[in-house]
Structures are given as C-alpha cells and as structure tokens.
Amino acid sequence: MSNPKEAIKEKSMVIQKEMLANLFTELSNAKANGKKVVYTFVPGNITELILAMDMLPVYPEINALQSGMRKKSGGYIKDAEKLGFSEDVCTYVKCDIGMMLNGNIGPTGEKLPEPDLLLLSYTGCFTFLKWFENLERLYPGVEIAMLHTPYQEDGVITDDQINYMVKQLKEEVIPKMEKVAGKKLDYDRLSKMLDNSVKAEDLWVKVLETAKNRPSSIDAYFAGVYYMGPLNTAFRGTEEAVTYYEELYKEVTARMDQGLYPVTPEGEMKEERFRLVVEGPPNWTNFREFWKIFYDMGAVIVASTYTKVGGLYDQGFRHEPGKPLESLAKYCMGCYTNLNLPQRVDLIEHYIKEYKADGFLINSIKSCNSFSAGQLLMMREVEQRCGIPVGFIESDLVDPRYFSYANIKNRLESYFQMLGQRKVILAQEETVI
Amino acid sequence: MKQAPDRLTSLLDECKSLAFDLNFSYAKQWKAKSKYRLLVGYLPIYVPREIIHAANGMAVGILGVGDRKQIIKGDAYYQSYICHLPRGIIEMALDSNLDNFDGFLFPSICDCVRNLSGMFKLAKRGKFTRYFDYPQNFQKNIGGTFYRELLETIINDMFKLNDMKITTKHLNDSIALYNHNRELIETIYNIRQEYPWRLSAVDVYHVIRAGMVINVEKHNEMLEEIVDLISEDFGEPMDNIRVVISGSFCEQPPIGMIKSIEMAGCYIVDDDFMLGSRWIQGNIKDSSSDPLNELVDSFLTQSAPSSAIYDVADPKGARLVKQVKMRNADGVIFCAASFCDPALLDRPSLQKSCDDAGIAHINFQFHENTGQFKVIKEQAGTFSDSIKLWV
Ligand code: SF4
Ligand code: SF4
C-alpha cells in the first residue's frame, strides 16, 4: 500500500473546506446560539426548507462516511453490534449509532448537537425508516416529521404521487418544522433559495458533462463524490454553493482547455487508458487506496450512478422556484435509488453510450440492499445491450472488515487487462477496415 | 390418551401438500376453469386480497422455496450477503413454477423485495408487476387518498386483463369472506394457546400457508372443519414452556426448525410467520356502500404493527409485550432470516422492550434452507430449561 502524498488543493477545494468548517462551527455553537438542529438524510433531502427556516441540517450518512474515512467506523460498528445489532445489517446505521454511543463527536472533533427535529425524508431505501426508528429510541421525546417518498415503481412520477408528497409537506412536515423553528415558512425566501439551487444545478451538470471530452479532465466518481457534496447536502439553495460551482466549473474548463487529465491525491493523471462507468457507492474506509488502483492503471470514471443519489440533474431535473413544493416532491422521487431497475439499466446504458465508455464496473456494497439487490441482473442486461466488458467487485461502505485490498486489486487488474486486450483487438479491427 | 381424529390427520396432510406445492397446481387448475379468472402472485407480507377476489382473481402467496427446490440460477442473481428468499423466487420465475400467473405484487417491506419487482419487469414476468408501495402516512386525507389510488391502479390492472368490473356487492362479499378467514385463523391460535398439544406448530403453519395458495372459500371450509375437530379434547400436554416467535414475517423458517423448537420443549403459541393473513386486526365493515373505503380505513387503523410500517411511537415493542401477555407466554424467540434488514434492525429495540417488561428471550438467525438444527435445538432446550427452573 502506498503512502499518499499531500493532496493538491485547488481553489474550489479550499472553498468547500471552508464551507464545511463553518457549518461544523455553527453546529457546535447551535445550542448556545439558539439554532435548531435537524437530522435528515442525503437522498431526497429537502435542505432548502430546513435552511429557509434558519435551522441547521445534520446528515447521519455523512457522519458515517466521515467516520469511515477517519478510520473510526470499525470501532463504532463493533459497539453497535455489542448493543445487539446484527453483523448482517447496513453498516451506515451501525456506524452512526456507534458514533452516538461514543459521544457523537463529528468530523472536526467537536461534539455534534442533539437533534431538535428528526426529519425522516426517506428516498430510495427502506433501511432509512429503520434507522430513524432507532434514532427515535436514542433521542426519546424529540420532534419527528416523516415524509414518505413513493418509489418510481412503474418508471414514472405520477400526479397521485406528487399530490401525496405535497400534502405530506403542507399538512405534516412543514407545520412540524415551523413548530420546531418557532417561525412560519417564508415562501418567497424558499423560492429565492430554489433559484440558487437551479444555478448550482446548471453548473454541476456542466461539470459532469466535461467528462464527455476525451480525455476527461475530471474523475466523475472518486472526485465526483467531493464535487457533489455542497449540492447534495447542507448548501443547496445557498449563494455559497453557487460560488463553489462557479469556481469548480472554471477550474474544470481551464483544465479541459489545456487537455489535462483528472487531478488525483497524488497529482495529475498522465494518461487516460480506460473510460469507465461505475455503479454503486465507493468504499470509504480505504478510499484513497481504492482510487489509486484506478489512477495507477490510467482508468478514469467518466460517469457514475452514485453521484446521482442526490438527484438526476443531468437528466433534466431542476428545482422550480415557482412551484416549490411540487418541485421538492419531484426532486425526492427522482433520486437515483428511487428509480426502478429497468430505469437504472437504461440510465447506465445511456451513460456508457454518451460518455463513450470502454467498460462498466459495479462496486457492490455489502451493506446496501437498496443499491445491491439486483445488480447482477443489471450487469447482464448492460453487457447484452452495450457489448462492453463488465466488471464486478465487492466491498462495504464503512466496515473495514469487508474491504480486501488484495482481492479487489487482483480483480481490477484482471479486468483492466481484459479492457486492454479488447482495445488492442478493436484497434486491429479498425486498421483492417 | 385420546388420539387425534383421523379426519384431522387427513386434513392436515392435505394442507401440508398444498402449502409446499411450489407449482401452485391447485391455483392453476382453478384458473383453467374460466378465461376470466386471474392469478395474482404476491410476496410477503400484506396485500388486500379482497380486491383480487372481487375481481374474479385468486391471490397466491409466494413465500419462497424453503428447502424444497434446489437453487441453481437464483444464486447467480444474488450476492452472498443478500437474504435467501428472492433467490428462490427468481428461480421459480425463471423456471415454469409461476407460468400462467397474470400479475405480481411486491409489498413494500424492504429494498430486496422492491428491487425484485424490477427484476420481474426486466425478465418480463407477468402481465403486470407492481411494487405495492403502501403509504407510511396514516392520515385519511393524505395516506388514505394515496392508498385508495394505489388500490384503484391495481384494480385497473386486473380490469384490463379480464374486463370484470368490481361491484359494491362483489367487494363486500369478498371482505366478508376474508373477515371470516381471519376469525377462523384467530380461533385456531386461541385454541392452541389453551391446548397447544392438539395441533403442533408445524401443523398450524401448514394450515395457514395452505390458505395462501387456494381460494378463500375452500380455505374457510377447511378451517371450519379444523376448528370443530380441535375443539374436542385429545392428545396429552407436555411439560413445555410457551413462546412467541418474532421476526420471521418474510423469509420463512424451515419446517425442521419450527419442529426443533417445539421438540426442545417450547410450545409456539404465537408467531409472525404469515403475518399478511393476520395483518388486519378485527373485522372490516362488509356492508358498506363504499367498500374500497373500508379497505383503506382498515389499512390505516387496523394494521398490525410490523417491521414494514413506520412506527413512530414504538407500538411494535408494546405489541410484542402485549402479545406475550395475552398468549400467556413465558418468553420470546427472535428468529430472523440472515441479512434481513427490517427484522434485524428492529430486533435490538424489541429485545429492549422485552427486557423492560421482564420477558426472557433468545435469538436465532436462519436461512430458509438451513439444514442443521442441532445448535438451535440445544439453545431452545436450554432456554426452556432455564425458564422452567427460574420462573
Ligand atoms: S441500505 Fe444503503 S441507502 Fe440505505 S441507509 Fe444503508 S447504505 Fe444508505
Ligand atoms: S427476508 Fe427480509 S431482507 Fe429478505 S426479502 Fe424479506 S424482508 Fe427483505
């Protein structure tokens, strides 16, 4: 295993770091400053509503992934297992509960405030429901609001579903939020925030689409998870998020104009041997080593499904300032894991073709049935439709026991070898023609 | 000791062979009698079977293959860390077991079942396939409206296939039949609570499971006869403790496991094996001018708390404690399928509810095709002995 060099920091990275640091400072001072704290989830989040009521969001999955990156998750998971949680269940939940059992210390080393509201807007994953039921037991008496997002079981968002969500927002969720916030929702303010959301969303799509260029100047998975952060979490709807994406887009286009390759923690890539589409979340406990296997082999991820868990903006969705609640409802229902399997296969096929990928890879996550159940059939479908080599590896989000570096590296090396051979054959065929 | 009546033995044999007929021959024969009849398969746990019945259909429970069918293709569709149930179901779908089914419903219980609905779509199985995403909001004008629309969608799916309009009378009649069915099932559990030696837990299992693959009229007839027969005294009580089993509401425990638990000295006086058949608590009004509305209301207000329903004030734990007391049970056996997120994520808080109420409990995990029960038998035996000693 290598010892990664100091990561190169671009201006956008510095901006994002500052945004996060400020948020965590605000969170640690929340109680003193009388700010209310809302725990909620990333996919299908309704951050603009939280921010429009001057409350501060906390995302338990982000805490879990940060714990994974800081090598704390293994201990947290074991502590949750001691409490009776099975080895078999989603490790995000156990990591979060373990973190709480250990004082709820956040990524900056400061204690996270307890929630004033548990806002269960669960999109695309049934386990979220169980997760929050467990949180309720840990914070007895806390106010709870529940927003049920119907699944796109038939591959469309219906009017019935939109009405159901809007009614929940109007009659249950917003009144509870107002009660906790101690103020009424200002719809003008919400619309202005949604306006900012749209600006950031436009820029984010432009960033993603630069990967269509050859060579791509971004890695849309490993770097993509950083890029998507502000939009998918606490900053959607803010001016800061717009500034961040303006800066990011400027940097990416400048790199593209110079024909540069993606930036990695060890500097710029020097080649683009393979263009891949990846399905599934990354592993967080060994994120850097995992990424390194790819960039060492010249493999660039040009599109990924994981970066769409917070919305499919690249497929045209935008928040609508004129129809705030309807568009929040559509947003929740449109997130990637809320798509049915045929839609997911169609999307992957589209990415492979649009981004001219050489291969398709699944990182199947032990914890996450929402992503993983059905992936083997998806893989076959994609292989049949696109005729490109498909690869399959297994790991976990935050349980270090399920990341086998040697195993994953071996599999990926064989996969890249296969991709390499195919390239040679295709090149030969082209010469003959 | 008076022996079990012969008629009971033959009825139980019939239930046993129906329950594990993975070709669903009875249902297919029933359908073959008229081109207007429909077969609608549904997975654990709950669908309102009344609407299917009223549309001239039969709702057929698909509960997995247990240890009765070798999984060959199914394993190639699922990673090792996913529960066993969907492997067997996809195997059945790819073989001919589910041929002639018109549609499939996948109730919202977890992401495996949800994604399996998409796998059926990709594999083009059934003329309609729906993830039955019932509301998690229980306000009549919010979740109720949404639920009604959901039921209407399924009714429309069926109408497109057989052109049969559901009338008020049809639906009221279906509601009455299922009310009776649930009453009879409850009666069997009540008799068993008092005299658990008259029917073994495995017998009860077969009797209820048979009802998921035949028409409700026939099941009711069988249940009526069984209730009559077990109301008579026979058999002999054993010095067993009495337990409630919790957590097996989807993937089903192997029969050998249920048997081992009883043989180890634990009468199973209640369980959640086929929760869907007992989901609605009490009767649904069967003389309404808007029976669909009655079905909606029953879902909103009479659903059994379960791992599939959002449970804000923890009625699941309270219900379990109440159930243990009501059944006069000595303890709880938590018995969940391996990798079953809903059951396993609920387990710690259910255990806590038991601890708080001073109820003893143990816990097992299983696969539907687990073949070895030695350890389970030993643990259940120790559990039984410890309760006999200390309680
Ligand atoms: S199952 Fe997957 S989507 Fe759901 S909480 Fe766990 S990691 Fe998140
Ligand atoms: S056994 Fe559990 S995890 Fe498996 S399909 Fe059923 S509810 Fe889902």
B287 in any annotated domain: no
pLDDT of residue A4: 45
**For residue B320, what are its two tokens?**
């379990």
Q: Which atom of ligand 2 is nearest to B339's Cα?
A: 3
Q: Is the torsion defined by CA of A102, A106, A109, A110 positive or negative?
A: negative
**For residue A317, what are its two tokens?**
């969705």
HEC profile for chain A?
CCCCCCCCCCHHHHHHHHHHHHHHHHHHCHHHHCCCEEECCCCCCCHHHHHHCCCEEECHHHHHHHHHHCCCHHHHHHHHHHCCCCCCCCHHHHHHHHHHHCCCECCCCCECCCCCEEEEEECCCCHHHHHHHHHHHHCCCCEEEEEECCCECCCCCCHHHHHHHHHHHHHHHHHHHHHHHCCCCCHHHHHHHHHHHHHHHHHHHHHHHHHHCCCCCCCCCCCHHHHCHHHHCCCCCCHHHHHHHHHHHHHHHHHHHCCCCCEECCEECCCCCEEEEEECCCCCCCHHHHHHHHHHCCEEEEEECHHHCCCCHHHCCCCCCCCHHHHHHHHHHHCHHHECHHHHHHHHHHHHHHCCCCEEEEEEECCCHHHHCCHHHHHHHHHHHHCCCEEEEEECCCCHHHCCHHHHHHHHHHHHHHHHHHHHHHHHHHHHC
Q: Which residue has the tokens 């049935």?
A: A369
Q: Where are the alpha helices (DSSP H) in B129-238?
A: 145-162, 168-194, 201-210, 216-231
Chain A segment 353-372 residues within 8 A of B by beta carbon are 364, 366, 369-370, 372
CA distance B373 to chain A (A): 20
Task: Please indicate whether, in this complex, the C-beta atoms of B311 and A133 are within 8 angstroms of each other.
Answer: yes
CA dihedral B246, B248, B254, B259 (to 10 degrees): 20
In a 3-state reduction of DSSP, which class is residue B58? strand
pLDDT of residue B193: 94
Mean pLDDT in consecutive groups of 10 residues from the start of chain A, 433 residues: 54 94 94 96 95 97 94 96 95 96 88 95 90 89 95 97 98 98 98 98 98 98 97 96 98 96 95 97 97 98 97 97 98 97 98 98 95 97 97 96 96 97 89 70
| Distance between Cα B284 and ligand 1 center (Å) | 36
AA identity, residue B239: D
| Contact residues, chain A, for B139 at CB < 8 Å | 171-172
Q: Which residue has the tokens 């923890």?
A: B314
Q: Are the C-beta atoms of A416 and A297 separated by less than 8 Å?
A: yes
- Spatial distance between the Cα atoms of A67 and B284, rounded to a whole number of angstroms: 49
Residue range B310-321: mean pLDDT, rounded: 83
Report in angstroms the alpha-carbon separations of B376 from B85, B250, B387.
20, 20, 16
Q: In sequence order, which residues have a C-beta less than 8 Å from that of residue A148 and are 6 or more positions away?
A: A122, A164, A165, A168, B135, B136, B137, B143, B310
pLDDT of residue B60: 98
- For residue B46, the enclosing domain spans 30-162
Q: What percent of chain A is helix, strand and coil (3-state, nearest 5)?
A: 55, 10, 35
In a 3-state reduction of DSSP, which class is residue A23? helix
**β-pairing verdict for A359-365 and A390-395:** parallel
B81 in any annotated domain: yes
B95 in any annotated domain: yes
Q: Are the C-beta atoms of B251 and B190 separated by less than 8 Å?
A: no
Q: Tell whether A175 lies on the interface with B, counting CB pairs under 8 A.
A: no
Q: Which of A341, A369, A372 sits opposite B121 (nearest CB)?
A: A341
B176 in any annotated domain: no
pLDDT of residue A433: 62
Q: Which of A154, A167, A394 sits opposite B142 (nearest CB)?
A: A167
**For residue A278, what are its two tokens?**
């990846």
Task: Please indicate whether, in this complex, the C-beta atoms of B131 and A344 are within 8 angstroms of each other.
Answer: no
Chain A segment 321-340 residues within 8 A of B by beta carbon are 340
B351 in any annotated domain: no
Query: For residue B148, what is the nearest residue in chain A, using CA coordinates?
Result: A160
- Spatial distance between the Cα atoms of B44 and B308, rounded to a whole number of angstroms: 10
Among residues of chain B, what percentage have pLDDT more than 90?
94
B371/A319: higher pLDDT? A319
Residue B247 has pLDDT above 90, yes or no: yes
Residue B288 has pLDDT above 50, yes or no: yes
B60 in any annotated domain: yes
HEC profile for A74-96?
HHHHHHHHHCCCCCCCCHHHHHH
In a 3-state reduction of DSSP, which class is residue B340? coil
Look at ligand 1, atom 3, and give the residue with the nearest C-alpha. A125
Which protein residues touch ligand 2 with a CB less than 6 Å away?
B 83, 85-86, 109-110, 112-113, 250-251, 337, 340-343
- Spatial distance between the Cα atoms of A199 and B334, rounded to a whole number of angstroms: 51
Q: Are the C-beta atoms of B45 and B308 separated by less than 8 Å?
A: yes
Q: Residue B157 maps to which CATH number?
A: 3.40.50.11890
**For residue B231, what are its two tokens?**
């109301």
Q: What is the pLDDT of residues B166-176, one digit of tens each?
A: 999 999 999 99
Nearest Cα to B170, choosing from B295, B26, B46? Answer: B295
pLDDT of residue A429: 84
Nearest Cα to A392, choosing from A425, A365, A353, A370? Answer: A365
Domain count, chain B: 1
- Kindly report the pTM of this predicted structure: 0.96
AA identity, residue B182: R
| Contact residues, chain A, for B107 at CB < 8 Å | none
B129 in any annotated domain: yes
| Distance between Cα A59 and ligand 1 center (Å) | 13
**For residue B37, what are its two tokens?**
């009849």
Residue range B213-222: mean pLDDT, rounded: 98
B133 in any annotated domain: yes
pLDDT of residue A431: 77
Residue A212: Cβ within 10 Å count: 13
How far apart are the two ends of chain B, measured CA to CA in Å? 29
How many Cα atoms are found within 13 Å in the side-chain-facing hemisphere of A428? Answer: 6
pLDDT of residue A3: 46
